Amino acid sequence: MKTRTPQILQAATGKPIKLWTEGVPVEEEARQQLLKTARMPFIFKHLAVMPDVHLGKGSTIGSVIPTLGAIIPAAVGVDIGCGMIAARTSLRAGDLPDNLHGLRRAIEQAVPHGKTFGRHDQGAWDEVPLQADQAWRALAARFKAITDKYPRLEKTNNRQHLGTLGGGNHFIEVCLDEADRVWFMLHSGSRGVGNAIGTQFIELAQADMRQHLANLPDRDLAYFEEGSRHFADYVEAVGWAQDYARQNRALMLQAVIGAARQVLSRAFETSLEAVDCHHNYVQKEHHFGQEVLVTRKGAVSAQRGQLGIIPGSMGAKSFIVRGLGNQEAFCSCSHGAGRSMSRTQAKKQFNVADQERATAHVECRKDKQVIDEIPMAYKDIDAVMAAQRDLVEVVHTLRQVVCVKG
């Protein structure tokens, strides 16, 4: 297959921006935000932009930001370690009941979710489960070392949120692949504690740079230089939040499997194929002969042979992919379809009847509280996948039959 050249966006000052967005619209506000980030003096070589790109806080969602000797906390964001996990089971489509409402309700009862009841000590969930408590114990010592320096973080719902979904675009799905095999898949991150870590360090970066904020393209591009007083602490806190997020997804997946076993009343395997990937994080990597810090803001690592997950909206298909190791993209791919409009705009433009039609083939909520997640509020996932065929190859195509939204 012939490799295509990405579109180049060049700022008057700053590094080039390479966009894998052929056939996918990019809003002008996102372009302007990218141009601001490209002006930062420590950007390494160029920014890489994925086809799900859209306006974000701090920096553009769907962007890969390589830096030398500095990190922008707002570019990493507050949903640190947010990502996906998926597992193929030995179940087939025919093993599922004709009416999937009972399975959806069982999953909803097994996993705390939503903004109102998204923790273990609220609503139907009156205590932290043993597995979540054990997982927390493995994380607790490192967290204490962080809170000894930053005591404000100690008050977060760190234990109560471990093993919970959250709200917004976080979800749990039961899917079928191209061979009608059943997969469980979910999307979530480091919950309230990750948000608190991100928020505190964004504030600290802005406070440290108070005298220089006026010279930044955007105050949310405030950064820590390597060797500064908060740099190492931030790297440690982000690494911890990523571990928390991974544990969070693993706990929920086990809860989903347990709920399915109760409803289906049959034995099945769940470890036939498994994928777990972050899409909001920063880590050191080796690119173009140098060690650099790579921030993926709504992007997934796609090293050659590495598996990843690219979900569509709650009414569209999703993909298990294998990375092609495209160096120009810093070995990355998109983290999903990407929003085509804001949540506020979606609520104004669509109604419950629209949601019912768009998700007629999926057992899911169909009420006004989820209209901001309606499939039409997202980009065309087929166009997004076509734009990044130099970045990944499709291994499995999944279509959801059950979707639980936070």
Distance CA 362, CA 352 (A): 15
Q: Helices 101-110 and 231-264, interaxial angle, to 10°?
A: 140
CB 404 within 8 A of CB 364: yes
Token pair, residue 68, equals 């030398």
CB 222 within 8 A of CB 74: yes
Question: What pLDDT score does 126 carry?
Answer: 57
Secondary structure element (H or E) that encloses residue 334, with its range: strand 332-334
Superfamily for domain range 7-340+378-405:
tRNA-splicing ligase RtcB (3.90.1860.10)
Distance CA 314, CA 353 (A): 15
Buried b / exposed e along 273-302 (16+ C-beta atoms within 10 A): bebbbbbbbbeebeeeeeebbbbbbbbbbb
Q: Among candidates 36, 44, 42, which has minimal Cα distance to 70?
A: 42
Distance CA 85, CA 183 (A): 10
Distance CA 343, CA 377 (A): 8
Q: Among candidates 26, 24, 21, 71, which has minimal Cα distance to 296?
A: 71
What DSSP assignment string belongs to 92-135? EGGGS-S--HHHHHHHHHHS--HHHH-STEETTEES--HHHHHH
Q: Where do the structural domains in the chain lie, given as residue ranges? A: 7-340+378-405
Q: What is the pLDDT along the chain (406 residues), one digit of tens a residue?
A: 556 789 999 878 899 999 999 999 999 999 999 999 999 999 999 999 999 999 998 789 999 999 999 999 999 999 999 999 999 999 999 999 999 999 999 999 999 988 655 666 655 545 667 888 899 999 999 999 999 999 999 999 888 899 999 988 999 999 999 999 999 999 999 999 999 999 999 999 999 998 887 788 899 999 999 999 999 999 999 999 999 999 999 999 999 999 999 999 889 999 889 999 999 999 999 999 999 999 999 999 999 999 999 999 988 999 999 999 999 999 999 999 999 999 999 999 999 999 999 999 999 999 999 999 999 999 999 999 999 999 999 999 999 999 998 7
Q: Among candidates 235, 239, 249, which has minimal Cα distance to 135?
A: 249
First vs last Cα of the chain: how many Å apart? 40
Q: Which of the residues 101, 335, 361, 396 is marked catalytic?
A: 335
Question: What pLDDT score does 3 carry?
Answer: 66
CB 103 within 8 A of CB 402: yes
- Percent composition of the chain: helix, strand, coil (DSSP 3-state, to 5): 35, 25, 35
Whether 286 sits among the annotated catalytic residues: the reply is no
